[in-house]
Amino acid sequence: MAKLTINEVELAGKRVFVRVDFNVPLTPEGAIREDTRIRGAVPTIQTICAAGGRVILASHMGRPKGKVVPGLSLKPVAERLAKLLGQPVTLAPDCIGPEVESLVEGLKPGEVLLLENVRFHAGETNNDPALAEGFARLADLVVNDAFGTAHRAHASNVGVAQRVSPAVAGLLMAAEIDYFNRAIRQPKRPVVAILGGAKVSTKIGVIEALLEQVDTLIVGGAMANTFFKARGYSVGSSLVEEGMLAVAAAAEAKAKEKGVAFLLPVDCIAAQSMDGKGPVQTVPVTDIPSGWMGLDIGPDSLALFREALQGAQTIVWNGPLGVFEQPAFAQGTLGLAATVAASSAVTVVGGGDTDAAVCLAGVADKISHISTGGGAFLELMEGKSLPGIEHLTEA
């Protein structure tokens, strides 16, 4: 995945079409609740401005399904971005058309125009040629800095890149590619992968791919229950995918065959409800009481997993190990986050709320790389090709 980046192309005077991911959470009143994604795009935008490029930003917000939904306008994003950049950001009335083309032609070097929500057009999500052509008329070169949508072939990331050359990676995208290569493609060994989350069915492709790549695989979260049930353990009322028991058993057998250490929790924090208000108890995973659910890993499991991380040179983590949003069930995930952060290994974290967990643990600044893409991160881990990256110009 060696792709051209904005550091390797001429930007001065060019109309630079930048696909960013400004799909930020909003309050019911329409205010931005959390602006990490906007802040993440600032270095790429500033790099283009400093080089004398004319910046045209494209993003989606929510799922308006091809209709103009005023509550999903990028107006609050334009206002927040202007504050972060310390310069005006003009919001276009649409993302294509004569009026937008006129605004683009009027841009001076170093100025920034934000196009209105690209998903106000139904053609965005099916890579409609007419919409992609409309984007292409705005651009001399294309920059993709939206890793979070790289697994989708949409008009504003793939369609425009098929029509404008060069199409290059922004700084965020380049970092995602670099760290993926360092963590999965050419990692320093030993490699430890941590997988959490609820369902084996959504992660089995990742598990099978990782068993070809890693030295140790740690599995936690609710999906561990399916492995417990496959082993014949009593899991009480814990979430189990009955239809995945044979798949879980086969994955564990494959790990043994490959010589991969396959670690599951040995104890858990159990409760009768997920609200964290009722009684809790620490029990062996072999014998979760009837009517109780395993909702976090227990202290012995945390000690086991911490030991497995000792000496690791590369750690990849996707998915929390419990219902960490509730303090009663957060200690496993937060404790492991602290251990990962203290490691001297290359540490890559992403998807499945794992980024929120390391932020809650207060260790985000000690992680080598926190991926900005959930589904994209998982698909890369699974070995799939991402259209948004595939269509960038080769280095």
Q: How far is CA 180 from CA 150, 177, 248, in A?
A: 14, 5, 26
Task: Answer yes or no: are the C-beta atoms of 208 and 260 closer than 8 Å.
Answer: no
Measured in degrees and rounded to the nearest 5, phi and psi for residue 369 equal -155, 130
Q: Which amino acid is at 285?
A: V
Please list, in sequence order, all residues whose beta carbon lies within 8 angstroms of the beta carbon of residue 105, skipping any fewer than 6 positions away: none
3-state secondary structure 10-39: CCCCCEEEEECCCCCCECCCCCECCCHHHH
| Number of other CB atoms surrounding residue 106 within 10 Å | 11
Task: Answer yes or no: are the C-beta atoms of 14 and 56 closer than 8 Å.
Answer: no
Residue 37 falls in the annotated catalytic set? yes
Tokens of 218: 């740690």
Identify the active-site residue in 62, 110, 375, 383. Answer: 375
For residues 247 and 132, what is the distance between their CA atoms, to the nearest angstrom? 41
Specify the 3-state DSSP secondary structure of 278. Answer: coil
19 pairs with which residues across the strands? 58, 144
Identify the active-site residue in 75, 137, 199, 384. Answer: 199
Identify the active-site residue in 319, 352, 373, 388. Answer: 352
Residue 106 falls in the annotated catalytic set? no
Residue 170 falls in the annotated catalytic set? no
For residues 339 and 309, what is the distance between their CA atoms, to the nearest angstrom? 8
Please list, in sequence order, all residues whose beta carbon lies within 8 angstroms of the beta carbon of residue 19, skipping any fewer than 6 positions away: 58, 59, 142, 143, 144, 145, 146, 149, 156, 157, 160, 388
Residue 289: asked if its preceding bond is cis (omega within 30°), the reply is no
Residue 306 falls in the annotated catalytic set? no
Please list, in sequence order, all residues whose beta carbon lies within 8 angstroms of the beta carbon of residue 26, skipping any fewer than 6 positions away: 32, 33, 71, 76
Specify the 3-state DSSP secondary structure of 334. Answer: helix
Identify the active-site residue in 37, 80, 203, 229. Answer: 37
In which element (H, E) is residue 302 found?
A: helix 299-309
Report, as residue numbers or ranges, the catalytic residues: 37, 199, 352, 375
